[in-house]
Amino acid sequence: MEKVTIYIADWQVIFREGIHSILSGENDMDVIGEAANNEDALNFIEANPPRVAILNANHSKLSGVDATLRIKQIFSSVAVILIMDGYNEEQLFSVVKCGASAYLTREADADELVNTVRKVAQNAYPLCEALFRTGIAYRVIAEFEVASLINKQVDNLLVRLSPAQSDILHRIADGNSIEQLVKSMGINEEAIRHHLNLILTKLVTNTHDRKVIEAVTRAVKQAISHAEEVSKWTWNTFEESKTDSDKATNRVEETIKQARKETEEPIQDNGSKIYQEEMEIVLPPPIDFKQVRQFEQALRQFENLRIRWSGGSIDGLTMGISGQKPKTLIRILNNLPTVESIYTKDDKIVTVILKAPNATTV
């Protein structure tokens, strides 16, 4: 008979070794490893998935609930038993939602431990018993009511309870035992437990799907916020450019006069061939596209220069310029107030680095 493989994680050495000793004494069980924390356990389980994982629910860095959610996303066949320090309704409800098969407290005896391991290894869900607690039943009802509200916004992506399942939960929340449910509803205990299994499965499914929906919603909100900021920044930049247009034009005209005066070679329309394919225009931080606008305006004052933007990113643009000989163009660029430095290779301009915005005047 194939043995049930088990992995154990608990920060308390004596407790962990006690579980190891008890389970290793069973002929049908094989403890394949143990760890002091859930992070190490998760790393091991991802590489060597056991049939049953016994994890501490209270680890500070990675709780048993979060570890279970990650394990069940990858290995649905791994049954998880979470160890709680004691009964805590809020924590128990988190355990119920995360996909664990069972929970035990530190007060559980050896027989309860062994029996629970055998049950979950056979695909049973002892955790369903938690649904018979009045407080947990109320929380589950509330969870599905919230899911119903969310469904109105997400086209019914979350699963709902059937009328029979809803009726059972409300009766449990009113304090009915399983014997009273059998008598009052006219169905047997097996049918009731089957409904509870389905409720638990739906609850776990909705927990996972809600996390996905919330993650997507956050991403969409961030994208919209970013788009609004970009739009606002673009409009503000446009408005600033309009306001400064007269000053910028005067400055450009002065730059052109100076460049023409200092250029040794006259700029004439002599039908020169295209000598310059592309050059990179580098914008230093903080990015200010008014610098680029001034740079382009200055170049366009030279009648023979032909300019085209051919691509780039937020911190580097690519420009094609033709119509002048290399040395002439270098002198032209060197006389522009927005240019910090020029790099050439084989008589071609490779890179033009613009000055930082606070290093120039408009």
In this predicted model, which residue has the larger pLDDT, 15 or 219?
15
Q: How confident is the model at residue 237 (pLDDT cuts 50, 70, 90)?
A: low
CA distance 308 to 253: 21
Res. 96: pLDDT tops 80: yes
- Check whether 2 has a pLDDT greater than 70: yes
What pLDDT score was predicted for residue 322?
A: 61
φ and ψ of 2, to 5 deg: -70, 135
47-65 mean pLDDT: 91
Share of the chain above pLDDT 70, in %: 68
Greater confidence, 16 or 305? 16
Q: What average pLDDT does this structure show over 102-109?
A: 94
pLDDT band at 331 (very low <50, low <70, confident <90, very high): confident
* Contact yes or no for 58/85 (Cβ under 8 A): yes
Domain ranges of the chain: 1-124, 129-243, 246-359
Query: What integer is the mean pLDDT of 7-27?
Result: 94
**In DSSP terms, which residues pair with 79 in a beta bridge?**
52
Provide the pLDDT confidence category of residue 112 given band limits of 50, 70 and 90.
very high
More confident residue, 92 or 157: 92
Task: Dig out the tokens for 280 from the structure.
Answer: 């990179």
Query: What per-residue confidence (pLDDT) applies to 239?
Result: 56
What pLDDT score was predicted for residue 141? 92
Averaged over 169-196, what is the pLDDT?
Answer: 92
pLDDT digits (tens, 9 = 90+) for 148-179: 888 887 778 888 999 999 999 999 999 999 99
Q: Could you tell me how many residues make up the chain?
A: 362
For position 36, what pLDDT does the model report? 92
Regarding beta strands 29-35 and 4-9, do their DSSP bridges make them parallel or antiparallel, or are they unpaired?
Answer: parallel
C-alpha–C-alpha distance, residues 139 and 297, integer Å? 67
pLDDT tens digits for range 260-315: 454 444 434 343 444 444 666 766 655 555 666 677 777 766 655 666 554 444 44
pLDDT at position 313 is 47
Q: Is 6 exposed, middle or buried (0-12, 13-18, 19+ CB in 10 A)?
A: buried
pLDDT of 58 reads 86
Mean pLDDT of the chain: 79
More confident residue, 248 or 203: 203
Q: What is the pLDDT of residue 29?
A: 96
Name the helix (H) or strand (E) containing 4: strand 4-9
Tell me which CATH code domain 1-124 carries: 3.40.50.2300
Can you tell me the distance from the alpha carbon of 125 to that of 134, in angstroms, rounded to the nearest whole number?
19
- 8 pLDDT above the threshold of 90: yes
In 3D space, the residue among 73, 68, 48 whose CA is nearest the CA of residue 58 turns out to be 68
Query: For the residues 312-340, what does the mean pLDDT come to?
Result: 66
Tokens of 256: 């052109």
Output DSSP code: residue 191. Answer: H
- Residue 275's pLDDT is what? 44
CA–CA separation, 51 vs 120, rounded Å? 9
pLDDT at 105 over 50: yes
In this prediction, residue 336 carries a pLDDT of 78
Per DSSP bridges, beta strands 339-345 and 348-354 are antiparallel
Q: Is 8 helix (H, G, I), strand (E, B) or coil?
A: strand
